[in-house]
A and B are shown apart, each in its own frame.
Chain A
Amino acid sequence: MTWKRDFKRNGVLYLIFLIPLSYYVIFKYVPMVGLLMAFQNYRVSRGLWGSQWVGFDNFVELFTGEQFLTAVRNTCAMALLNLTIGFIAPILLGLLVCQLRSKRFSRLVQTVTYMPYFVSAVVCCSLAQEFLRDTGAITQFLSLFGFAKQNWLANNSPTFWFINTFLGIWQGAGYSAIIYIAGIHGINQELYEAAQMDGANRWNQLLHITITGITPIIIMMFTLQIGLVFVTGFDKVLLMYMPSTYEHSDVLLTYTYRMGFGSSNSFGLSTASGLLQSVIGTALLLIGNMLSKKATKQSMF
C-alpha cells in the first residue's frame, strides 16, 4: 500500500490517535526534554532555555556528596532484599496453598492474603507506624525475645531495610502468589500419579514435579522483577523515613524528591539524580527483558 492510499484510508485513525498521542507527548516526552535540567544550574525564573549550562557539575556534586552515595547503598540493599526474601515469599505461599487438599481452605487463604494488596501505601505505613512504635504490638512481641522496647522505625540501622521488605511482602505476596498457583494447577496431573507409582513421597513430588514445573514462571517473574526493582516501594520509604534515620532509610527516589521539593530546591541536582536513576532503570529493564527472552522465550517487549 502506498503512503497516499494509507493516509486516505486510515486518515481518521491518525486523526483520533492525536488524543492519546498528545497525552503521551505532553506528559511523557516533554518531561524527557526537561531532563536537560540535569546539566544546568536551573532557575525557575529563567526557565529551561535561559538557565546557565554547567555541564556535568551536578553529577560531580552527586558523586562527591555523602548523601547520594548513602542513598545508592540503601537502594541497592533494599533492592537486593526485595529480590531475595521478597521474591521467594510469594513462591512459598503459592507452594503451600497448592499442598492443601481442602479447596475451601485454599480459597480462604488466597482471599485473605490477597486483601492487603488493596490497602493503600499510606494506610499500610500508618499501620506499620502503629505496630512498630514503642508500645506497638510487634514491639511488644519482639520484647518477649529480649529486644529492647523502642520505636523500630526510629532505629537508625539496617532494620529499616527489613521492615520495608516485610511491608512489601505483607502487601504484595498474596497478589504475586496467584501466578504461581495458576502455574502449579497447570502442571499435568499424570506426572504426580506416575511419581506415586514409582514410590516418590510428597516431598520428592514437590521438589521434582511442582517446583520443576513452575521454574519457567519463576525465571520469568524474576527477570521482570529485575527491571522494576529500583522503582517499587518508594512511596513507602517516603512515608516511613525520618531525618534521624536517613543514613539507612534514604533511597535514590527519596533523595531525588528531597533535593527537588525540600528546602534546598536544587532542581538541577534532583534532575541529575533522577536521570541517573532512569538510565539505570532502563538498563535493568533491558537486561531483565533479554534474560527473560533467553531463558523462557517470553518477554515484555
Chain B
Amino acid sequence: MDKVMKANKKIEKGVVGTYKFTEKTAVGAYKSIESQFRGQSPEGQLADILMYGVLIIVMLVALIPMWHTLMASLSEGQQLIAHDGIAWLWVTPDGKPHFEGYEKTFSYGDFAILKSYVITLLYVVGNVVFGLIINVIGAYVIYRQPKLAGLLMMIVVFTLLFSGGMIPTYMVIKDLGMTGTPWSLIIPGCSNAMFMILVLNGFKQVPVSTVESSELDGAGHFTVMFKILLPQAKGLTIVTMINTAILAWNSWFEASIYVPQNRELWPIQLWIKQIVGDNASTLTTAVVDWNRYLVAYCVILIATLPVLAAMPFVQKQLQKGALLGAVKE
C-alpha cells in the first residue's frame, strides 16, 4: 500500500497528471523546453531532439484520427469521398465548414440517433446506480468481518478467476426474460468483483477508530455505511462509478446479442457500428445520398466528444484507481 500512497502523492503534486492550459503556456513551454538542452553535450542534445521528435510523432498519432473525423464531419460528402488521405481541414467546395452531415444525423432514421443518445444515458445511469448498490453493500458486509466474511469474499473473487462464458450467460439472461428489454443492458454488466474489491480497499483505508467511536454513539449499519465510510472512501468509490459509466457508454456487444432486433433499444455504439458498416454499401447504390455518408463521422464525434470532454475531470481520479487496481497487497 505504501507504493500506492507515494504514487498518489505524486499525482496530487501534479508530477503525474493533467496538462493545464494557461496564458503563459506557450512562453513557459518554450523556456522549459529550452532548459532541457542547456548545459548538455552535443550527443545529449541530439538525444533530446530525437526524444522530442518521437514524442511529438506519438502525440500526432494519438490525435490525428479524431481530428480527421472532426474535419470529415464538417465536409461536403461528394468531395470527401474523392479526397484521399487525411482531411487536415474540412473538404468543401467553398472552403467553409458544412453542417449538412449533422443535419442528416439529427433526422437520421426518424431521430434514431437522438433517441439512442437518450437511452444510452439511461443505461449509463442504470449501470452506475445498480453497480453502486451492489458494490457498496458487498464491500461493507465483508468489511465488517462477520464470521462468514471469508466465504463471501471467496464467492466474489472466484468470479474473477472463472466464468461461464458467452452462451451460458446469454441463456440465463434469456431465461430471465431480459432479452429484448433495456434490463439486459443495465443489470447483468453493472458490477464486477474488481470494482467491489476497489470499494472494499477504500473502506479499509478509513481509520477503524472513527467507525468504532460512531458505533459507540449508537450508529447503525446504514449510518456507518453512508455517513462514515462512503464519504471517507469517496475517491475509490467514484473510480468504480466512472469506470462503470465508461464501460456502459462504450458497450455495444451485449446489445448486439441481447436486443439485436429492437433498434429503439440500441445504444449509440451499436448505431455507429451499423452506420459505419452501411457506408461501404452506400456508395454502390444507384442514387447516392452523399450526406448520408457523413453521418458516420458525425455520430462518432457525437458519441466520443462527451467522454473526451469529461476527461480532465476524471483523469486524476482514474489514475489513482489505475495504481490502486494494479498494486494491491
User: Which residues in A have some Cβ–Cβ distance to B below 8 Å?
Assistant: 1, 3, 6, 9-10, 12-14, 16-17, 19-21, 23-24, 26-35, 37, 48, 93, 96-97, 99-105, 107-116, 118-123, 126-127, 129-131, 135-137, 140, 170, 174-175, 178-179, 181-183, 185-186, 201-203, 220-221, 224, 235, 238-239, 253, 256-257, 260-261, 267, 270-271, 274-275, 277-278, 281-282, 285-286, 298, 300-301
Tell which of A28, A122, A203 touches B273, judged by Cβ atoms closer than 8 Å: A122
User: A201: which B residues are within 8 A, CB to CB?
Assistant: 44
Tell which of B86, B137, B303 touches A137, judged by Cβ atoms closer than 8 Å: B86
- Stretch of B93-101, B105-113, B138-146 contacting A (4+ beta carbons < 8 Å): B138-146
Instruction: For the complex formed, measure the closest distance between the CB of B142 and the CB atoms of chain A, giving whole angstroms.
Output: 8
- B250: Cβ under 8 A from any A Cβ: yes
Interface pair B303/A120, CB less than 8 Å apart: yes
20 CB contacts below 8 A, A to B, read A6-B146, A17-B138, A112-B19, A114-B315, A115-B63, A119-B307, A120-B269, A120-B303, A120-B307, A122-B250, A123-B300, A131-B65, A178-B319, A183-B3, A235-B252, A256-B165, A260-B167, A274-B167, A278-B163, A285-B160
Interface pair A109/B58, CB less than 8 Å apart: yes
- If A97-B55, A256-B167 touch, whether A178 touches B272 (CB-CB below 8 Å) is no
Residues 152-191 of chain B, each 1 if its beta carbon lies under 8 Å from chain A, else 0: 1001110111111111111111001000000000011001
Tell which of A20, A186, A238 touches B137, judged by Cβ atoms closer than 8 Å: A20
Tell which of A102, A115, A178 touches B33, judged by Cβ atoms closer than 8 Å: A102
User: B249: which A residues are within 8 A, CB to CB?
Assistant: 120
- The CA of A111 and the CA of B313, in the complex, are separated in Å by 12
Majority SS of interface residues in chain A?
helix
Tell which of B28, B171, B252 touches A120, judged by Cβ atoms closer than 8 Å: B252
Tell which of B19, B36, B327 touches A298, judged by Cβ atoms closer than 8 Å: B327
Interface pair B59/A112, CB less than 8 Å apart: yes
- The CA of A30 and the CA of B160, in the complex, are separated in Å by 15
- The CA of A20 and the CA of B273, in the complex, are separated in Å by 33
Tell which of A21, A32, A99, A300 touches B168, judged by Cβ atoms closer than 8 Å: A32
Tell which of A19, A32, A185, A277 touches B16, judged by Cβ atoms closer than 8 Å: A185
Taking residues whose C-beta sits less than 8 angstroms from the other chain, chain B's interface range is: 35 or more
Interface pair A185/B35, CB less than 8 Å apart: no
Additional 4 contacts, C-beta under 8 A, given A13-B140, A30-B168, A278-B165: A10-B144, A118-B304, A120-B250, A278-B164
| Chain B, range 12-65, C-beta contacts under 8 Å to A | 14-20, 25, 28-29, 32-33, 35-36, 44, 47, 51-52, 54-55, 58-59, 61-65
Interface pair B63/A112, CB less than 8 Å apart: yes
- B134: Cβ under 8 A from any A Cβ: yes
- B196: Cβ under 8 A from any A Cβ: yes
Tell which of A3, A174, A271 touches B147, judged by Cβ atoms closer than 8 Å: A3
Instruction: For the complex formed, measure the closest distance between the CB of B205 and the CB atoms of chain A, giving whole angstroms.
Output: 18
- If A20-B196, A110-B17 touch, whether A235 touches B253 (CB-CB below 8 Å) is yes
User: A220: which B residues are within 8 A, CB to CB?
Assistant: 326-327
User: A29: which B residues are within 8 A, CB to CB?
Assistant: 159, 164
Interface pair B162/A32, CB less than 8 Å apart: yes
- The CA of A21 and the CA of B65, in the complex, are separated in Å by 43
Interface pair A182/B176, CB less than 8 Å apart: no
- The CA of A214 and the CA of B57, in the complex, are separated in Å by 25
User: B52: which A residues are within 8 A, CB to CB?
Assistant: 105
- The CA of A116 and the CA of B250, in the complex, are separated in Å by 12
Interface pair A127/B65, CB less than 8 Å apart: yes
Tell which of B10, B157, B167 touches A182, judged by Cβ atoms closer than 8 Å: B10
- If A140-B84, A178-B323, A182-B11 touch, whether A31 touches B165 (CB-CB below 8 Å) is yes
- The CA of A1 and the CA of B161, in the complex, are separated in Å by 32
- B276: Cβ under 8 A from any A Cβ: yes
User: B196: which A residues are within 8 A, CB to CB?
Assistant: 20
User: B20: which A residues are within 8 A, CB to CB?
Assistant: 107
- The CA of A109 and the CA of B61, in the complex, are separated in Å by 12
Interface pair A286/B161, CB less than 8 Å apart: yes
Interface pair A14/B146, CB less than 8 Å apart: yes
Interface pair B32/A35, CB less than 8 Å apart: no
- If A32-B162, A126-B272, A267-B167 touch, whether A182 touches B328 (CB-CB below 8 Å) is no
User: A123: which B residues are within 8 A, CB to CB?
Assistant: 269, 272, 300, 303-304
- If A110-B16, A113-B59 touch, whether A35 touches B168 (CB-CB below 8 Å) is yes
